[in-house]
């Protein structure tokens, strides 16, 4: 008898000789169990699959570690989103494929497709390949293709409307051939093949599974049926070579980005340390910006290699924002306390401004927190969508729902779901830091308010005094109005025109669209820029400050004096200009001045005149021919026809407007807890006339011509007169006044005089309709005529400021021209004595008005009878 060991060995040998299921012939009962058709549901249309060459793994080639069926089945049990696996799953049941296609579709509308596939030996029975435990719980009739499915083995497809009702589904299943579309590229040679049985050698650890998968595909009659070449990938899509080049480029870019992210992350940490060390507020806030920019660079370049560093960079910027804001707030608090102790009006204002700066920090932080909340909500929404609409499935067509370009996501869809909670964790960290900072700022703001109580009392007292002055002025005005009620009406209660002095010449002002507010070019204007109180204080404390209010005047002289002062600050090489501007509702009275909110637009400019660079308010009139020579010298250079040069671009629509007289508006602009909002609300309500569209600046900031730039251009040029000096004997130039207009009278020129004298009436007065109702008493005024003097046209003498710079045109013979003027003036008759005496009787003192090129004042001749 044979021993037990002998029998055992023989049994093992016989088992080893047993043929593998992959080689079994297809006949009899076995053939009946193997499917003739397999089905796969997909949202991709046939033309896409045809272009790709069939069904490919989502990443081709698939990494060797992912060939284990254990991992593949794990995806099916719990993962979300697209998976990376070498196995393409199919089913032998059409209904199952239809349900899968409907369930996993990525779009909300359109169609899904079920593809009918010819089985081949590289497709095996999955349920016979897994452990008994998995086998019991899985769906029956599942077959997996190793490496992919060729388009040529797809027999055809069914197009099914997405979201089809149960009734429609029943109709399709009752007769699927009604909607079946055959594939013209199907290769009938695949009709002779069937699937393989289970392949349990693939249900092992990753490393072994990869080798076993290659061994299975290398068996005769398995892989060679679908073109196996001995290694994966099984096949490539037609455009593989072109894509491979791009993938290589993308890989190199990713590595470069990873290096950049690493460097940027270091910069962020460096900025954080700088903030921790510094006691300088400006440095701290500047380092925040550097940290933020570095973090953005880090995030943009963050891939798998840089993910941890990028998260650290974002945490660092959150800390940087917190520490910088705290340091800034502490600094403002300490300054406010110190200023409050000085107990002066100016220190009080500065102390309150420091408290406002803490409030500004809060406002900025609120904006960032709001943006962060929005991003967090989007991540939550993405997580909900993953859980609700794509549970326990594999999808090749799910578009990534990325809430923000600044967020870090998984390298691919394989770990997409896990990436979402990680992103949420980083975002929450940043938000918590901001929330803690906000609480700190609120507490410190309250302490600052308490510490500046003295300053507030000083300001309240000053405000009350100012209101009393306003009340007194109002009472005086009311008395004057009562006294004037019996006299003929000569003016409306509110001015319809104001005067504005500037160093900019008309050509420059027109080019930039009007006159900008000084705050227009600021990136982050201070809160004070929006307050009327700060605007009013700028004169009181002689401070140059950035403001969204432009200062205008009710009299010509005040505007001229301010224009001259602006010139004196910058240069003494040219003469400034006074503009007559039509009133609009965005103008409010502040004491004797007019505050123009937002700026002045060019079409509301009615006229202009040029004044001497050293203009001062005169006290009496012009006295004799020698002084007339000085005044007319410049007049003859420009040869104006009127005292004021009319603006041909003036828009008559402004005729209907006047300034704002609302005490409530003035009060809210003067002091508000939310200056920016109050100012914007005011402009929204009253700025339509000047084209306010809800955003500042009113005029395009990029076109702004600064006073400094204007001066620099003019200092390279000759100051050509744009209009007359205001101190000329002008009876023939200002018709309707009824007497000789001396320097003092012109200086006192108001909007009323502009309208009632029809100063602009050259081709029909702009304000004729308003002046029609006002009749000035007829006064016979003898004309003072000067002999005509031929002067070359203004364009021959003037410089043209072009966009590229300042182009200089030199007069042909400037000296001989000036001599000709003086010669003709010397022959001019003296003004009638009566008229001169009338002018002299107004005052006994005359200020010198020096002109360019005439530093020495001409001696005044004695006046004889």
Q: pLDDT at residue 577 above 90?
A: no
Q: What is the pLDDT of residue 297?
A: 62
Q: Helix (H) and strand (E) counts for the chain?
A: 27, 20
Instruction: State how far the Cα of 671 lies from the Cα of 536, in Å rounded to an integer.
Output: 11
Q: What is the pLDDT of residue 836?
A: 33
| pLDDT band per the 50, 70, 90 thresholds, residue 614 | low
Listed ranges 173-187, 707-721, 831-845; the one with the highest mean pLDDT: 173-187
Any idea what the Cα angle at residue 614 is, between residues 609 and 618, rounded to 5°? 75
**pLDDT tens digits, one per residue of 481-531:** 555 444 433 334 678 889 998 888 888 888 889 998 988 877 778 888 888
Please list the residues that pair with 782 across neighbouring strands: none
Q: What is the pLDDT of residue 782?
A: 38
Q: pLDDT at residue 109 above 60?
A: no
Q: pLDDT at residue 228 above 50?
A: yes
Q: pLDDT at residue 150 above 90?
A: yes
Segment 240-255 mean pLDDT: 61
- Better-predicted residue by pLDDT, 755 or 729: 755
Pairing between β-strand 593-597 and β-strand 587-590 as defined by DSSP bridges: antiparallel
Q: What is the pLDDT of residue 830?
A: 40
Q: pLDDT at residue 14 above 50?
A: no
**pLDDT tens digits, one per residue of 54-76:** 999 887 888 888 899 988 887 64
Q: What is the pLDDT of residue 296?
A: 65
Both structure tokens of 311: 């998260």
| pLDDT band per the 50, 70, 90 thresholds, residue 547 | confident
Segment 611-625 mean pLDDT: 53
Segment 561-581 mean pLDDT: 74
| pLDDT band per the 50, 70, 90 thresholds, residue 257 | low
Q: What is the pLDDT of residue 268?
A: 74
Q: What is the pLDDT of residue 655?
A: 87
Q: What is the pLDDT of residue 229?
A: 93
User: Which of 206-210, 211-215, 518-522, 733-737 has the least mean pLDDT?
Assistant: 733-737
**pLDDT tens digits, one per residue of 465-485:** 776 665 655 555 555 555 544
3-class secondary-structure state, position 488: coil
Q: What is the pLDDT of residue 156?
A: 98
Q: pLDDT at residue 701 above 80?
A: no
Both structure tokens of 642: 């009127």
Q: pLDDT at residue 860 above 60?
A: no
Closest CA to 583 of 684, 689, 508: 689
- Better-predicted residue by pLDDT, 761 or 287: 287
Per the rule left: phi > 0, alpha: psi between -120 and 50, beta: everything else, 438 is: alpha
Q: What is the pLDDT of residue 661?
A: 85
Expressed in angstroms, the distance from the first to the final Cα of the chain is 169
Total-model pTM: 0.34
Mean pLDDT of the chain: 70
Q: pLDDT at residue 831 above 50?
A: no
Are 791 and 636 a contacting pair, CB within 8 Å? yes
Segment 814-827 mean pLDDT: 41
- Which H, E and C letters describe 345-402, residue by residue? HHHHHHHHHHHHHHHHHHHHHHHHHHHHHHHHHHHHHHHHHHHHHCCCCCCCCCCCCC
Q: What is the pLDDT of residue 511?
A: 86
Instruction: State how far the Cα of 307 lies from the Cα of 303, in Å rounded to an integer.
Output: 6
Q: What is the pLDDT of residue 622?
A: 40
Segment 320-335 mean pLDDT: 88
- Percentage of residues in the chain with pLDDT exceeding 70? 57
| pLDDT band per the 50, 70, 90 thresholds, residue 662 | confident
Per the rule left: phi > 0, alpha: psi between -120 and 50, beta: everything else, 220 is: beta
Which of the 8 DSSP states describes residue 721?
Answer: -
Instruction: State how far the Cα of 643 lies from the Cα of 745, in Å rounded to an integer.
Output: 13
Listed ranges 74-88, 96-110, 151-165, 846-860; the one with the highest mean pLDDT: 151-165
Are 362 and 326 a contacting pair, CB within 8 Å? no
Q: pLDDT at residue 552 above 80?
A: yes
Q: What is the pLDDT of residue 489?
A: 34
Listed ranges 21-30, 139-148, 824-833; the one with the highest mean pLDDT: 139-148
| pLDDT band per the 50, 70, 90 thresholds, residue 716 | very low
């Amino acid at each position: 008898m044979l021993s037990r060991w002998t029998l055992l060995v023989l049994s093992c040998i016989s088992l080893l000789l047993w043929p593998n299921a992959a080689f079994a012939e297809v006949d009899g009962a076995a053939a009946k169990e193997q499917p003739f058709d397999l089905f796969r549901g997909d949202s991709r249309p046939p033309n896409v699959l045809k272009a790709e060459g069939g069904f490919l793994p989502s990443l081709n080639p698939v990494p060797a570690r992912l060939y284990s069926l254990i991992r593949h089945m794990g995806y099916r049990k719990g993962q979300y989103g697209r998976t990376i696996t070498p196995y393409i799953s199919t089913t032998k049941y059409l209904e199952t494929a239809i349900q899968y296609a409907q369930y996993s579709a990525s779009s909300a509308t359109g169609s899904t497709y079920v593809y009918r596939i010819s089985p081949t030996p590289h497709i095996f029975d999955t349920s016979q390949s897994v452990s008994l435990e998995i086998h019991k719980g899985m769906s029956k009739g599942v077959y997996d293709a190793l490496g992919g499915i060729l388009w040529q083995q797809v027999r055809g497809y069914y197009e099914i409307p997405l979201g089809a009702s149960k009734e429609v589904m029943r109709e399709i299943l009752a007769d699927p051939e009604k909607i079946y579309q055959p594939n013209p590229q199907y290769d009938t040679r695949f009709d002779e093949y069937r699937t393989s049985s289970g392949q349990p050698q693939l249900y092992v650890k990753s490393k072994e599974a990869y080798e076993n998968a290659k061994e299975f595909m290398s068996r005769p009659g398995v892989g060679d049926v679908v073109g196996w070449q001995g290694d994966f990938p099984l096949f490539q899509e037609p455009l593989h070579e072109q894509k491979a080049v791009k993938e290589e480029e993308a890989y190199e870019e990713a590595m470069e980005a990873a290096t950049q992210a690493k460097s940027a992350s270091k910069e962020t940490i460096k900025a954080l340390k700088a903030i921790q060390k510094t006691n300088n507020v400006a440095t701290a806030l500047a380092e925040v910006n550097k940290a933020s920019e570095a973090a953005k660079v880090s995030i943009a370049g963050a891939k798998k290699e840089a993910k941890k560093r990028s998260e650290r960079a974002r945490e660092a910027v959150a800390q940087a924002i917190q520490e910088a804001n705290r340091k800034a707030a502490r600094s403002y608090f300490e300054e406010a306390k110190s200023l409050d102790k000085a107990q002066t009006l100016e220190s009080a204002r500065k102390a309150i401004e420091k408290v406002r700066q803490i409030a500004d920090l809060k406002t900025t932080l609120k904006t960032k927190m709001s943006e962060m909340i929005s991003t967090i909500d989007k991540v939550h929404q993405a997580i909900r969508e993953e859980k609700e609409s794509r549970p326990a499935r594999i999808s090749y067509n799910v578009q990534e729902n990325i809430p923000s370009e600044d967020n870090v996501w998984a390298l691919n869809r394989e770990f997409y779901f896990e990436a979402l909670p990680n992103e949420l964790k980083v975002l929450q960290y940043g938000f918590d830091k901001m929330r803690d900072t906000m609480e700190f700022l609120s507490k410190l703001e309250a302490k600052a308010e308490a510490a500046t109580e003295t300053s507030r009392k000083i300001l309240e007292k000053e405000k009350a005094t100012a209101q009393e002055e306003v009340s007194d002025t109002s009472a005086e005005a009311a008395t004057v109005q009562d006294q004037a009620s019996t006299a003929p009406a000569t003016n409306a209660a509110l001015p319809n025109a104001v005067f504005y002095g500037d160093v900019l010449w008309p050509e420059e002002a027109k080019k930039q669209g009007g006159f900008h507010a000084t705050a227009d070019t600021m990136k982050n204007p201070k809160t004070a820029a929006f307050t009327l109180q700060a605007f009013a204080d700028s004169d009181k404390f002689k401070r140059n400050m950035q403001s969204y209010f432009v200062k205008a005047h009710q009299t010509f002289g005040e505007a001229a004096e301010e224009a001259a002062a602006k010139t004196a600050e910058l240069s003494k090489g040219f003469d400034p200009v006074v503009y007559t501007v039509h009133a609009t509702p965005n103008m409010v009275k502040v004491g004797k001045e007019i505050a123009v909110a937002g700026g002045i637009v060019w079409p509301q400019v009615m006229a202009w005149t040029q004044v001497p660079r050293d203009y001062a308010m005169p006290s009496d009139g012009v006295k004799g021919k020698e002084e007339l020579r000085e005044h007319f010298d410049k007049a003859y250079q420009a040869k104006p026809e009127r005292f004021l040069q009319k603006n041909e671009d003036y828009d008559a629509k402004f005729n209907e407007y006047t300034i704002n007289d609302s005490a409530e508006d003035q009060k809210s602009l003067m002091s508000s807890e939310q200056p920016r909002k109050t100012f914007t609300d005011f402009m929204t309500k009253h700025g339509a006339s000047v084209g306010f569209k809800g955003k500042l600046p009113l005029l395009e900031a990029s076109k702004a011509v600064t006073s400094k730039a204007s001066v620099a251009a003019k200092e390279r040029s000759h100051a050509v007169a744009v209009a007359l000096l205001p101190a000329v004997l002008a009876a023939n130039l200002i018709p309707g006044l009824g007497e000789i207009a001396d320097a003092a009278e012109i200086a006192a020129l108001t909007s009323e005089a502009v309208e009632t004298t029809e100063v602009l009436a050259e081709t029909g007065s702009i304000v004729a309709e308003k002046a029609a109702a006002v009749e000035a008493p007829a006064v016979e005024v003898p004309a003072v005529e000067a002999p005509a003097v031929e002067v070359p046209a203004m364009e021959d003498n003037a410089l043209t400021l072009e966009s590229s710079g300042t182009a200089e045109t030199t007069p042909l013979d400037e000296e001989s021209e000036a001599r000709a003027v003086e010669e003709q003036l010397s022959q001019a008759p003296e003004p009638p004595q009566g008229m001169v005496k009338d002018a002299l009787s107004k005052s006994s003192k005359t200020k010198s008005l020096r002109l360019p090129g005439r530093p020495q004042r001409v001696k005044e001749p004695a006046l004889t009878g």
